[in-house]
Amino acid sequence: MEPYKCIIIEDEPLAAEILQDYIADVPFLKLKNTYADAISALDDLSANDIEVIFLDINLPKLKGLDFIQTLKHPPHIIITTAYHEYALQGYELNIVDYLLKPIEFSRFLKAVNKLNQLNPARSIAAAVATPLGKDYMFINANKKRIKIYFKDILYIESLKEYVRIYTTDQEIVAKFQLGQIEEHLPKADFLRIHRSFMVAKERIDAYTGTEIEIRNKQLPIGRSYKDQVNEFLNHI
């Protein structure tokens, strides 16, 4: 899936820079432009099929909420402002979310994840690209697309908002959840053993009733995964 094309309308350079950094760290967002006022953004909205606007309220020339009301077919809008008192009016205009500055990344991520709830067909598939029939995937990390061969993966660890992928020669940290990357891995080659761990079946060196060992690293077997793990282990 293609990432959501978005723009920022924000007249404070520092606030705009923070949003730019946040967007760059979310695989399913693609920033097209940043504007200091809403009027300047009108041409982009008509020409580039913009899907998301990160919109400040207190803007020069035309206030953010007034700008929304001028749009016949507004895209998804996420308000970013220092003023809490306009929240009700914003939601009456059918915005996705209302973020108060200073905006923490965790709060930003919660807001943009609503886009996938509103558009389930789009989902978060843009986070990982797996070419059809290939033995590798590309993953967004460190502001670039990194190629990872499935055969090189040892195990993957969940870090809440991130995952850490352990391969034969490196560790890669990327900003999305374990369940999302699980969808792109060959099911025959990987095994979920815990809510925080997924392992490559061929990389298992040893095991007990409660742990899997890979390269001297002991990984716990979660209670809710125990049956499926034991079923696999009993047939190797």
Domains of the chain, by residue range, sit at 4-118, 142-233
* Average of per-residue pLDDT across 112-118: 84
- pLDDT tens for residues 38-57? 999 988 787 778 999 999 99
Return the residue matching tokens 């025959």.
188
Taking the C-alpha atoms of residue 79 and residue 179, their distance in angstroms, rounded to an integer, is 29
pLDDT value at residue 117: 77
User: Taking all residues of the chain, what is their mean pLDDT, rounded to a whole number?
Assistant: 88
How far apart, in Å, are the Cα atoms of 213 and each of 135, 169, 173, 182?
24, 18, 21, 20
- pLDDT tens for residues 84-96? 999 999 999 999 9
Confidence of residue 76 (pLDDT cuts 50, 70, 90): very high
Cβ burial 87-104 (10 Å sphere, 16+ → b, else e)? eeebeeeebbbbbeeebe
pTM of the model: 0.55
Confidence of residue 131 (pLDDT cuts 50, 70, 90): low
Q: Domain 4-118 maps to which CATH number in 3.40.50.2300, 3.40.50.1220, 2.60.20.30, 3.40.50.10320?
A: 3.40.50.2300
Angle between helix 105-118 and 13-24 (nearest 10)? 60
Asked if 10 contacts 80 with a C-beta cutoff of 8 angstroms, the reply is: yes
Is the domain covering 142-233 a CATH 2.60.34.10 domain? Answer: no
Q: Is pLDDT at 4 greater than 50 in this prediction? A: yes
